[in-house]
Chain A
């Protein structure tokens, strides 16, 4: 079959009778971009959006996934397709909030400001909690933002008179102004089950992560 572009639709999207659940969990995970060992990380053979193993580089000081805990659904995530004249790419965005103003929090923000990082988010939506034949639960839960280039802090706002934030920080991270992601956020699903995915994620975590 001749195709006009570089791809062609080869499968169907059927109705989903599972109840969609919006939002992401309050805990998100930051990994410095250079810490990810892309040579050892693996994808599904048939689907490059399915990350089946995320491996960190062995360095000194050691690489970790650092967590950030929000509160009461304070983390938000959006994706948008970016269409340019010839190409279509993806903008990965995450908005998160820090409800504090300690020197340690300020230092974290300063270091994040000058960093590029990937973010692992945990969706509230976990399709197929009672898996039927051939379906596996947990494949809609974890996603990795910024696999290609990493994302960066694009805005930090602290309004001490804000009635909602009460002087906390609102931070917006997303793609670079010029370089957008080539694909949607990668699904992280390790070992074929959500339990093994959580075990693999646990092995990434920094000691400071509860």
Chain B
């Protein structure tokens, strides 16, 4: 029942999120999934539709998708989409939020044993 097979994916700096299929109207050769993605195809789609950056799991120049990226220990927001390719305003808020120091936490109240 349990079998393993190697993944056969094109070598590209870009990785789409699982299940994503990018299409260009009237040009079937630009249809793109993780199975056939190339740098040229990815850059074509990002150029004609910058908003499709949200469908990418990995974009060059950004941290790869690792545990530390997806689950930051500091609890701050994670930015995967590069600011120059994302929708203005949203990323600005993200950057602002991530650059802010974490809110100071209240020191835990000491528990004293009540004197009998």
Q: What residues make up the interface of A, taking CB atoms closer than 8 Å to B?
A: 37, 40-41, 53-60, 62-65, 69, 98, 100, 102, 104-105, 108, 190-191, 196, 199-204, 207-210
Contacts and interface: CB of A to CB of B under 8 A. Distances in A.
Contacts of B6: 207
Contacts of A69: 1
At the interface, is chain A mostly helix, strand, loop or mixed?
loop
A55 B3 contact: no
Interface of B: 1-7, 16-21, 23, 31, 33-35, 54-55, 57, 65-67, 69-71, 80
Contacts of A40: 17, 20, 54-55
A59 B68 CA distance: 11
B80 A58 contact: yes
Most buried by A among B2, B7, B17, B69: B17
Nearest to A104: B2
Contacts of A210: 3, 5
Nearest to A62: B18
Given A105-B1, A199-B33, A64 B17 contact: no
Contacts of B19: 41, 53-56, 200-201, 203-204
B54 A203 contact: no
A198 B9 CA distance: 16
Contacts of A203: 16, 18-21, 33-35
CB-CB nearest 5 A-B residue pairs: A56-B18, A60-B67, A58-B57, A55-B19, A200-B21
Contacts of B54: 40
B45 to A, nearest CB: 14
A55 B70 contact: no
B5 A191 contact: no
A207 B4 contact: yes
A64 B17 CA distance: 11
